[in-house]
Amino acid sequence: MPKPDTLLQSRYLILHQVGKGGMGAVYKAKDIRLQNIVALKKTLLVNKSQRKNFAREARLLARLRHSALPKVSDHFFEDDGQFLVMEFIPGDDMAGLMERNGGKFPSDDVVSWILRWADQLLDALEYLHMQSPPVIHRDIKPQNLKLTSRGDIILLDFGLAHSGRSQMTTLTAQESLELAGYTPNYAPLEQIRGADPDPRSDLYSLAATLYHLATGVRPPDSLTRAAALLNKQPDPLQPARAINPRIPRPLSDMLNLAMSLNLSDRPESAAMMRRALRDVSRMLRPATAPLAETDEAESAISPSDEAAGMSPIPFAAADTEQIGLPVGTLRGAISTGTPILTIDLHPKGHLLAVGGEDRTVGLWKIPETTGGRSNPSLIRSLEINARSVRSLAFSPDGRLLIAGNEDKSIWVWRANDGQLIASPDAWMYPTEYVAFRSDGELLVTGGWGSTICLWRIQDDNNLAKHATLATSFVQSLAFNPDGTLLAAGCYDGTVRIWKVADGKPLRSLEGHGNFVLTVGFSLDGERLFSGSGSTIYEWQVSSGRLLDTLHGHTNFVRDLAFSPDGETLASASEDRTARLWRISDTALIHSIDEHTAGVTGVAFTPNGKTLISGSRDKKVRLWQC
């Protein structure tokens, strides 16, 4: 396999590997002739017959032009492999997106998004199937779907696309099976049995993929289903509606129909299936129109000291310095009873807000002590009637607590008593992140839409829309220390920076290998750190130059936090670790490995002696720094 900095064909400079499978790998590379980024897909099938078919397939794919398909620009043979050169699509695939959200679709608008993407994909399949000979993908699955910054879908992996029966007849049966490739949960029965490709095989795979997105459950493979029916047992494939009641019956029925084991029982063509789903979409409008506003959600505040399933475990007080404990020593934990998605600490350090998948925000009081261990108390649980809390932020003066949610609302409470002040429904998109400017006068929100919104805090603590900034899907936001700049980590793999005063773009930081889940400015404002994939990037703010990359995490970096003295960076990752880095030379200080699930949030206490981490294993932990 080619290593980074390898130059192929005196033209393509390998940057790094982005994927690997049993038949080859995919690389991110730079076309030094045209000075653009491309994807190189390498396969290891190199006998004479396969070389001939590969070249023919590459020429066919290079003629294809469709908005939902990556452009193929070149092909070549080198050493032990054959390479297909394609347009590089940044970001993670749909499988990675669901994994990051606990295996579920990350938005309440699951039906609207699925109908939108199904329409785009079926239009692409109709285009492919109408080619001469027909092009059949044969491996549609969540891993082969990517989102653009506008929320459109791209169908990938055309190294496994094959054209019609004429090509397959030139291969042996074993070569045909290997070259085709398939993933059992999404493959129709005829494909697993090695039969000739058929356009309706793609309809099965697409329906199985949409089923997974709609339910969060992989459909049973077709062999298991066939065996059950042969033994006169019920089909183990449950209707999508039975797993997710939000799925309307017509959509659920169409998915089941397209996943029929018998080829002849499926829709006759992609065009027919597309028309049927468009009818479903028209029936549901405007109730599930993508990116539509929702009604204002009702609030329910439950100021109890004990909440069901949320029993505290003794731990040391957060602001208590314990001399002599080594860095990374566990000082205590809170069991919250729900997978934790976000945390934020009050500026004074006495109150911790925890947002989870149970649609609540837990407010925990951290007692002040002079040493030893102490029991925190859950002073109240704020129920928001949203699918999950994506981000929390205390105002700099500690008076307000803001929650950004997947139901497109922004909730504002008084921090001292949990009184709901406002729940603006003017925001149009599910919110991934909320952040305050250091003076507390501006709040910024961003998420699944292509717009960032700046809100001004009014005297009555309500929010008034101040300005909007156009961007791609936003995963994270941060103001610089003096509030003059705003940075956004985006789904398209960029960090975009604006001047707050006039909203003008300053620059875009590119070169991330994945979407950017977290961003933060150093306390001196001179550097910006971003987490993308398993890597942390260090940038010079004044020039936009990449200074360094921090390696060590093995899964998504979800959150970053800076110590009050500005000398230490903390990172949280889905690899079940939190790490401490020295900012001066980006050296790793310590890796905290005791979590039993992904770590989603980190925060330093005001004195910098304790690091707080929140995890999907339902616990908040406190660590010595």
Q: Annotated catalytic sites, by residue? A: 139
Cis peptide before 236 (omega within 30 of 0): no
The closest of 99, 111, 55, 79 to 2, measured between CA atoms, is: 79
Tokens 């920076």, residue located: 497
- Tell me the C-alpha distance between 85 and 62, whole Å: 9
15, two tokens: 């940057």
- Tell me the C-alpha distance between 11 and 470, whole Å: 35
User: In sequence order, what are the residues at sequence separation of 6 or more whose Cβ sits closer than 8 angstroms to the Cβ of residue 500?
Assistant: 437, 442, 454, 479, 483, 484, 485, 486
88, two tokens: 């590089």
Backbone angles phi, psi at 149, to 5 degrees: -65, -15
Instruction: Please answer whether residues 106 and 113 qualify as being in contact, where contact means their C-beta atoms are separated by less than 8 angstroms.
Output: no
SS3 call for 82: strand
SS3 call for 447: strand
Which parts of 513-583 are beta strand (E)? 516-521, 527-532, 535-540, 546-550, 557-562, 568-573, 578-582
Burial of 42 (0-12, 13-18, 19+ CB in 10 A): buried
Q: What is the DSSP string of 84-124?
A: EEEE---S-BHHHHHHHTTTS-SSTTHHHHHHHHHHHHHHH
Element (H, E) at 162: strand 162-163
- Tell me the C-alpha distance between 436 and 428, whole Å: 20
Amino acid letter, 493: G
Instruction: Please answer whether residues 284 and 111 qualify as being in contact, where contact means their C-beta atoms are separated by less than 8 angstroms.
Output: yes
